[in-house]
């Protein structure tokens, strides 16, 4: 492999991705930012500069296992201090997976203001297609800064966002906002041009703040070849549910009449208490057809739930021995309203982080860490072969709201996603232990439970959180401190020097 170098600037400025002008936070000035492209086996060197006017930043490379490079996972308060304004940090890691992913700011809600971009790691071909069309980012979109919305709403219902984007663009209808000068009506829908007879690959990402999409292309079948960074046994479908943070690689055959067709990120209202935009669409245009909007209709049945697509992973085949689990965490998710703030709690507490003294700093300095009551769970390696760590999250909030649970530093195997109540004596009998789906984001069904398994094979401080943007900030997170004694061995002197510099500058900047 070779070493590839990238420069990313997290910055802010005005933008109007759907024709409504507002302030955005971006990477290199665009939504989405530039795509990071590398081959399996390469090394990446990515320089990230904080050019914002206020606040720190840090970039997380979503879904990358970061084996031996936990220090570059990009989570402020856990794996690093935030990068202060004017400061740069160089992330260095190896490309050990292949497929499609994305990077995003992991500083509070910045990615929901636009600070995200794509990752493509080329690897062995798992399917044939004629052309790679790259990413298709599906997102919801607020017409004002997302922090304002969140602060206004954070003791009540989550705010409903006005709009949605596909690859950072859409056309918002200004006919009801004629007196609003910010509503320019000059938005445009993304147009993807194809040639009849060819097969195309698309890399779907749900980059939404708070929304599950049912993706479809009118009259076209989708062949699904990968889920997150995991190749799967390909299957064909007419639509695909995609939860916040998830990715799917699909292939479609341009085998319909030469015409224009709607590509739809259909908002699934069933799992949300609010009304949401229904025109998150883009255009699929066969290259000889007119430039008029499509007139096609969808023949997809709208899903009544937001549960994940059932999937089998392709490689490697595993059998999870649940009779010999090394460690099992049963956790209970709840919601409470404090005076000025909603708190999600796991086992009655929220994750506590110290921005000036992130977990890794405590590890490097040999300090005592936050106790379990702060949702830092220790995982260590034993000498046996069966070392499965099982996490069961039971939703007791009674809101019937689906939560996309994401684990850093690992893919996990999905043992169960159920709408019932977990019973430690009987429920494990229903676990899927033979070649279950493997990925890095899975839906926790509302009022139900999610059971996942992973191996303690990656020393580090790894966040596990809900990928609904405000839920993590509201406490719906826990942290695995995996094999604490082995973490520092992976850190070089220059890694450590930079780590300490970033923390020093951050501490100075916040006084
Ligand atoms: Cu997409 Cu904690 O990350």
ipTM: 0.99
Residue 246: C-alpha distances to residues 9, 214, 265, 398 (Å): 24, 12, 14, 24
Distance 173 CA to ligand 1 centre (A): 32
Asked whether the predicted pLDDT for residue 339 surpasses 60, the reply is no
Distance 229 CA to ligand 1 centre (A): 14
285 band by pLDDT with thresholds 50, 70 and 90: very high
**Token digits of residue 361:** 């700093």
Out of 102-106, 281-285, 368-372, least confident range: 368-372
Average pLDDT rounded to a whole number, residues 101-110: 96
Which are the contacts of 88, defined by CB distance < 8 A and separation ≥ 6? 47, 48, 49, 50
CA 245 to chain centre: 2
Atom of ligand 1 nearest to the CA of 63: 1
Q: Is the CB of 471 under 6 A from ligand 1?
A: no
pLDDT tens digits along 151-171: 887 777 778 889 999 999 999
Average pLDDT rounded to a whole number, residues 184-200: 97
Atom of ligand 1 nearest to the CA of 104: 1
385 band by pLDDT with thresholds 50, 70 and 90: low
Average pLDDT rounded to a whole number, residues 470-490: 91
Looking at residue 470, the DSSP 8-state letter turns out to be: H
Domains in the chain, start-ordered, CATH in brackets?
1-124 (2.60.40.420), 126-309 (2.60.40.420), 322-501 (2.60.40.420)
Strands 460-466 and 403-407: antiparallel
Residue 275 confidence (pLDDT)? 60
Residue 137 confidence (pLDDT)? 98
Asked if residue 393 lies in contact with residue 331, where contact means CB atoms within 8 angstroms, the answer is yes
Residue 288 confidence (pLDDT)? 86
Q: Is the CB of 247 under 6 A from ligand 1?
A: no
Place of tokens 């409504």: 20
Residue 404 confidence (pLDDT)? 95
Residue 315 confidence (pLDDT)? 64
**Token digits of residue 172:** 């918002």
What's the angle, vertex CA 455, arms to CA 450 and CA 458, rounded to 5?
Answer: 120
* 3-class secondary structure per residue, 76-105: ECCCECCECCCCEEEEEEECCCCEEEEEEE
Average pLDDT rounded to a whole number, residues 285-297: 94
Q: Is the CB of 465 under 6 A from ligand 1?
A: yes
Residue 42 confidence (pLDDT)? 98
Distance 59 CA to ligand 1 centre (A): 10
Closest CA to 223 of 244, 202, 242, 245: 202
Q: How many CA atoms lie within 13 A of 398 on its CB side?
A: 1
260 versus 370: which is more confidently predicted? 260
Of all residues in the chain, the percent with pLDDT exceeding 70 is: 96
Asked whether the predicted pLDDT for residue 466 surpasses 90, the reply is yes
Distance 209 CA to ligand 1 centre (A): 12
Residue 35 confidence (pLDDT)? 98
Residue 272 confidence (pLDDT)? 64
Asked if residue 395 lies in contact with residue 113, where contact means CB atoms within 8 angstroms, the answer is no
- 161 backbone dihedrals φ, ψ, rounded to 5°: -85, 150
Nearest-CA residue for ligand 1 atom 3 is 62
Asked whether the predicted pLDDT for residue 125 surpasses 70, the reply is yes
Average pLDDT rounded to a whole number, residues 29-44: 98
Atom of ligand 1 nearest to the CA of 465: 2
Looking at residue 319, the DSSP 8-state letter turns out to be: B
Mean pLDDT of the chain: 92
Residue 23 confidence (pLDDT)? 96
Average pLDDT rounded to a whole number, residues 486-498: 96
Q: Is the CB of 104 under 6 A from ligand 1?
A: yes
Closest CA to 162 of 248, 276, 66: 276
Residue 337 confidence (pLDDT)? 67
Distance 151 CA to ligand 1 centre (A): 21
Omega prior to 306 cis, within 30 of 0: no
Closest CA to 52 of 8, 108, 13: 13
Asked whether the predicted pLDDT for residue 400 surpasses 90, the reply is no
Distance 453 CA to ligand 1 centre (A): 18
Of all residues in the chain, the percent with pLDDT exceeding 90 is: 73
Q: Is the CB of 463 under 6 A from ligand 1?
A: yes
Atom of ligand 1 nearest to the CA of 62: 1
Say whether 184 sits in a helix, a strand or coil: coil
Residue 176 confidence (pLDDT)? 86
Say whether 21 sits in a helix, a strand or coil: coil
Distance 2 CA to ligand 1 centre (A): 27
Residue 52: C-alpha distances to residues 112, 151, 216 (Å): 15, 20, 36
**Token digits of residue 281:** 């669409």
Average pLDDT rounded to a whole number, residues 284-289: 94
312 band by pLDDT with thresholds 50, 70 and 90: confident
Q: Is the CB of 135 under 6 A from ligand 1?
A: no
d(CA 68, CA 96): 11
Residue 330 confidence (pLDDT)? 82
Asked if residue 167 lies in contact with residue 190, where contact means CB atoms within 8 angstroms, the answer is yes
Distance 406 CA to ligand 1 centre (A): 7
Out of 59-63, 267-271, 302-306, 356-360, least confident range: 267-271
pLDDT tens digits along 227-275: 999 999 899 999 999 999 999 999 999 999 999 999 999 988 767 655 6
Average pLDDT rounded to a whole number, residues 365-374: 78
pLDDT tens digits along 135-151: 999 999 999 999 888 88
Residue 345 confidence (pLDDT)? 85
Closest CA to 104 of 4, 26, 11, 211: 26
Atom of ligand 1 nearest to the CA of 472: 2
**Token digits of residue 210:** 């708070």
Residue 465 confidence (pLDDT)? 96
d(CA 499, CA 491): 10
Q: Is the CB of 106 under 6 A from ligand 1?
A: yes
Closest CA to 290 of 254, 263, 259: 259
Q: How many CA atoms lie within 13 A of 511 on its CB side?
A: 0
Q: How many CB atoms lie within 10 A of CB 405?
A: 26
Nearest-CA residue for ligand 1 atom 1 is 62
Distance 177 CA to ligand 1 centre (A): 35
Would you put residue 365 in left (φ > 0), alpha (ψ -120 to 50) or beta? alpha
d(CA 507, CA 511): 6
**Token digits of residue 289:** 């057809």
d(CA 26, CA 18): 15
Burial 216-238 (b: 16+ CB within 10 A, else e): bbbbbbbbbbbbbbbbbeeeeee
Distance 278 CA to ligand 1 centre (A): 26
What's the angle, vertex CA 120, arms to CA 212 and CA 491, rounded to 5?
Answer: 100
Atom of ligand 1 nearest to the CA of 441: 1
Q: Is the CB of 245 under 6 A from ligand 1?
A: yes
Asked if residue 79 lies in contact with residue 360, where contact means CB atoms within 8 angstroms, the answer is yes
What's the angle, vertex CA 500, arms to CA 496 and CA 505, rounded to 5?
Answer: 150
Asked whether the predicted pLDDT for residue 53 surpasses 80, the reply is yes
Out of 274-278, 395-399, 404-408, least confident range: 274-278
Closest CA to 252 of 226, 232, 223, 225: 223
d(CA 502, CA 508): 10
């Amino acid at each position: 492999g070779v070493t590839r170098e990238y420069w990313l600037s997290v910055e802010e400025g005005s933008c109007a991705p759907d024709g409504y002008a507002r302030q955005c936070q971006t990477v290199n000035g665009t939504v989405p930012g530039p795509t990071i492209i590398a081959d399996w086996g390469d090394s990446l060197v990515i320089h990230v500069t904080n050019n914002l006017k206020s606040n720190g930043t840090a970039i997380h490379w979503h879904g990358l296992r970061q084996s031996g490079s936990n220090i570059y996972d990009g989570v402020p308060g856990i794996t690093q201090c935030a990068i202060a304004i004017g400061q740069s940090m160089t992330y260095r890691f190896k490309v050990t997976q292949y497929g499609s992913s994305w990077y995003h700011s992991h500083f509070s809600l910045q990615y929901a203001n636009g600070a995200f971009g794509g990752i493509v790691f080329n690897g062995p071909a798992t399917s044939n297609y004629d052309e790679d069309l790259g990413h298709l980012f599906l997102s919801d979109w607020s017409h004002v800064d997302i922090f304002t919305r969140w602060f206004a709403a954070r003791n009540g219902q989550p705010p409903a966002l006005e709009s949605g984007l596909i690859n950072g663009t859409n056309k918002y209808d200004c006919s009801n906002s004629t007196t609003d000068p910010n509503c320019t009506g000059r938005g445009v829908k993304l147009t993807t041009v194809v040639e009849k007879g060819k097969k195309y690959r698309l890399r779907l990402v749900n980059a939404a703040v708070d929304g599950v999409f049912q993706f479809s292309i009118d009259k076209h079948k989708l062949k699904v070849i990968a889920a997150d960074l995991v190749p799967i046994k390909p299957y064909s479908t007419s639509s695909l549910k995609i939860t916040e943070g998830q990715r799917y690689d699909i292939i479609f055959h341009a085998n319909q009449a030469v015409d224009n067709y709607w590509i739809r990120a259909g908002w699934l209202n069933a799992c949300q208490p609010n009304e949401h935009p229904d025109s998150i669409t883009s255009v699929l245009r066969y290259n000889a057809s007119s430039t008029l909007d499509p007139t096609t209709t969808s023949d997809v049945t709208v899903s009544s739930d937001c549960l994940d697509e059932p999937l089998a992973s392709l490689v490697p085949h595993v059998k999870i021995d649940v009779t010999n689990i090394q460690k099992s965490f049963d956790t209970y998710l709840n919601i409470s309203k404090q005076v000025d703030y909603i708190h999600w709690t796991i086992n009655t507490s929220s994750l506590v982080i110290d921005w000036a003294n992130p977990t890794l700093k405590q590890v490097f300095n040999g300090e005592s860490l936050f106790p379990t009551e702060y949702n830092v769970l220790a995982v260590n390696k034993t000498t046996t072969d069966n070392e499965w760590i099982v996490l069961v999250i039971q939703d007791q909030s009674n809101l019937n709201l689906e939560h996309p649970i994401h684990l850093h530093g690992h893919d996990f195997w999905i043992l169960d996603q159920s709408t019932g109540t977990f019973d430690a004596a009987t429920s494990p009998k229903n676990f899927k232990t033979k070649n279950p789906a493997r990925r890095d984001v899975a839906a926790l069904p509302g009022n139900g439970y999610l059971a996942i398994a992973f191996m303690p094979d990656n020393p580090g401080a790894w966040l596990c959180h809900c990928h609904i943007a405000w839920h993590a900030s509201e406490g719906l997170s826990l942290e695995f401190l995996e094999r604490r004694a082995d973490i520092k061995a992976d850190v070089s002197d220059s890694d450590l020097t930079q780590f300490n510099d970033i923390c020093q500058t951050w501490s100075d900047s916040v006084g």
